[in-house]
Amino acid sequence: MSPTWAGLAQVGLLLLALAVVYKPLGDYMARVFTSARHLRLEKAVYRVGRVDPDSEQHWKTYAASVLAFSFVSVVLLYLIQRLQHLLPFDFGRTASPGVAFNTAISFVTNTNWQSYVPETTMGHAVQMLGLTVQNFVSAAVGLAVAMALVRGFVRAKTDRLGNFWVDLTRGTVRVLLPLAFVFAIVLIALGVVQSLKSGVDVTNPDGSVSRIALAPAASQEAIKELGTNGGGIFNANSAHPFENPSSWTNLIEIFLLTVIPVCLTRTFGVLVGNKRQGTVLLTVMGVLWGGMLTVIWWAESHPNGPLALLAGGAMEGKEVRFGIAGSALFANATTSTSTGAVNSMHDSFSGLGGGGTLLNMMFGELSPGGVGSGLYSMLVVAIIAMFLAGLMVGRTPEYLGKKLGKREVTCAAVAILAMPTVLLLGTGAALLMPDTAGALNNPGAHGFSEVLYAYTSASNNNGSAFAGITVTNDWFQSTLGLCMAFGRFVPITAVLCLAGSLAVQRKVPETAGTLPTTGPLFATMLVGTVVLVAALTFIPALALGPIAEALA
């Protein structure tokens, strides 16, 4: 099998697996978030939390619950890291205040940006009690917000959006936990480690002695991909053979990080009562995903740049078992979702390939996007697209039977503009800092790309990096932390406000003048809106980095 055919086989198997679970998992998630029954375990959670699971919340209460929950999560995660010497399995590792602050925001916002080397910074107790927990609940928060927005479209003449605590608990208990458990075991069977030891000593065949780091990796790996989180328990992330030992685990991990965002389009279709409304969103995601995969794969398998030409292939920062195709497939999947796990070092990609991963994030991570965040980001784009179409024909736009007035469009605009604002401000400010030049690992245009990538990744809650950049000074730790927080919670608040104002409206009946939102015209408008917004916003920045590099 040639590398090209092996790559195509991987793509084919991935799509096949997604197709098989699309209906059952999508329908299951629709039932999870509409069922009136509470499981016994869930009732216990509500009892301890002293919340009434059968009372529904106004959008402001829902948003307050999301923000309050995330705030206490940041505080607790910060304290767990700072107090890890009091916990078991710390192995003498310590996290500085800067690292702990950045990491707390990073994992709570589903970013999982890492400014630390796990093997020397985070003991197993921090990994399990702190980081694994946020891998679950930050994904469940994304799911909850997406469900609240869908209810805004489905419901009419009510100011109630559901109950955040119920959505959070159900997402964790009924969706994430069982899937993560099963796949953690599968990954162990295929070679991923799950050890409570810090490492194992070996005497190599040449007589030298090495210590090989170990960690409870499988339990974290499964939810890290499934929850589109991406924080590695080892420094090399999913490139480490103990996190991702073979081409098969590689494919499974790519499947895990795309499966929920993909199936949520089905959930959406079921809940709004027209499955084709979900299919069209999936089509848009698929077109963007396939297009970007082609670019990245082509760029990496056609050596360009002095390094790859001298070496005879773009294998710098890639593993033999994944090859170029398996690396490109992972890189595309991780940046088009909000995962940010890496099985190859994006910093060593070609100008065009690395630029592709950047552009994936700049699209707003919606092809298919993060758990929950992919769906709500795509729905925000749909509202903007309908607004633009409305301007062209001169009538008030509608989507799914709801009028898109000033308030709805304002919320959508805030949601879509928050990320570019903090991204460009952060990058620009960082470039003015005198210390930034010394933090870079590469000269010239590529050094600029390292800064741009850092702020793009943080503002989009991705978490991958052009990892050569050293981000441990206070400036980077604090500003990247703020970008992650703004990039996550400004859109979430805007989306919940949008949901609230949609839910109180009555449904407007479809007329001959209603633009159908299930056909190719609508899909084309969505793709156009995504590309147009990203192009208008980011071309100047891309021109200074990856484009300059690709043309050099």
Partner 1 sequence: MVRQAWAGLRILIVLTTLTGVLYPLGVWAVSRVPGLHSTAEGSIISQNGRNVGSGLIGVDPVAQDPEHDPWFHTRPSALAQDPLGPADPSSSGGSNKGAANDDYVKVVRERKDAIARREGVDPARVPADAVTASASGLDPQISPAYAHLQAPRVARENGLTPAQVDRLISENTSQGIGDPGVNVLKLNLAVQAMKRG
CB closer to partner 1, 436 vs 505: 436
Q: What are phi and psi of 55, to 5 degrees?
A: -95, 135
The residue among 375, 81, 23, 350 whose CA lies nearest residue 228 is 375
Please measure the distance between the N-terminal and C-terminal CA atoms of the chain and give it in whole angstroms. 34
The CA distance from 306 to 217, in Å, is 37
Say whether residue 196 binds partner 1 (CB under 8 A): yes
CB of 357 closer than 8 Å to CB of 35: no
Say whether residue 16 binds partner 1 (CB under 8 A): no
Say whether residue 172 binds partner 1 (CB under 8 A): yes
Q: Give the three-state DSSP class for 318.
A: coil
What is the helix (H) or strand (E) element at residue 264, kind and residue range? helix 247-271
Binding span for partner 1 by CB under 8 A among 196-204, 258-266, 406-414, 419-427: 196-204
The CA distance from 8 to 17, in Å, is 14
Query: Count residues contacting partner 1 (CB under 8 A)?
Result: 131
CB of 33 closer than 8 Å to CB of 170: yes
- Among 92, 306, 434, 438, interactor with partner 1 by CB under 8 A: 306
Say whether residue 305 binds partner 1 (CB under 8 A): yes
CB closer to partner 1, 236 vs 530: 236
CB of 367 closer than 8 Å to CB of 377: no
CA angle 524, 111, 243 (to 5 degrees): 105
The CA distance from 386 to 388, in Å, is 5
Question: What is the pattern of x (binds partner 1, CB under 8 A) and - over residues 398-437?
Answer: ----------------------------------------
Taking each helix axis from N to C end, the angle separating 177-189 and 217-226, rounded to the nearest 10 degrees, works out to 130
Q: How far is the CB of 157 from partner 1 (least distance, A)?
A: 26
What is the helix (H) or strand (E) element at residue 456, kind and residue range? helix 444-459
Say whether residue 326 binds partner 1 (CB under 8 A): yes
CB closer to partner 1, 12 vs 24: 12
Positions in 357-396 near partner 1 (CB under 8 A): none
CB closer to partner 1, 128 vs 380: 128
Beta bridge partners of 506: none
Binding span for partner 1 by CB under 8 A among 23-31, 143-151, 315-323, 521-529: 315-323
> Could you tell me the two tokens for 260?
């929920």
- Among 37, 86, 157, 312, interactor with partner 1 by CB under 8 A: 312
Q: How far is the CB of 23 from partner 1 (least distance, A)?
A: 25
Binding span for partner 1 by CB under 8 A among 177-185, 487-495, 502-510, 520-528: 177-185
> Any idea which residue has 């099998």 for tokens?
1
> Any idea which residue has 């400004």 for tokens?
490
CB closer to partner 1, 19 vs 200: 200
Say whether residue 13 binds partner 1 (CB under 8 A): yes
Say whether residue 69 binds partner 1 (CB under 8 A): yes
Q: Give the three-state DSSP class for 288.
A: helix
Positions in 461-500 near partner 1 (CB under 8 A): 466-468
CB closer to partner 1, 56 vs 316: 316
Positions in 122-151 near partner 1 (CB under 8 A): 128-130, 132-133, 135-137
The CA distance from 552 to 428, in Å, is 23
Quickly list H helices, 91-237: 97-108, 118-121, 124-125, 133-154, 164-170, 177-189, 217-226
CB closer to partner 1, 266 vs 446: 446
Say whether residue 297 binds partner 1 (CB under 8 A): no
- Among 38, 91, 191, 472, interactor with partner 1 by CB under 8 A: 191
CB closer to partner 1, 203 vs 511: 203
CB closer to partner 1, 198 vs 473: 198
The strand pair at 209-213 and 398-399 is best described as unpaired
The CA distance from 449 to 548, in Å, is 10
Say whether residue 311 binds partner 1 (CB under 8 A): yes
Query: How many other C-beta atoms are found inside a 10 Å radius of the C-beta of residue 284?
Result: 27
CB of 337 closer than 8 Å to CB of 364: no
Q: How far is the CB of 414 from partner 1 (least distance, A)?
A: 20
- Among 34, 61, 421, 518, interactor with partner 1 by CB under 8 A: 61
Say whether residue 44 binds partner 1 (CB under 8 A): yes
Amino acid identity, position 162: G
Positions in 199-258 near partner 1 (CB under 8 A): 199-206, 208, 210-214, 216, 218-220, 223, 234-236, 239-242, 245-248, 250-251
Say whether residue 194 binds partner 1 (CB under 8 A): yes
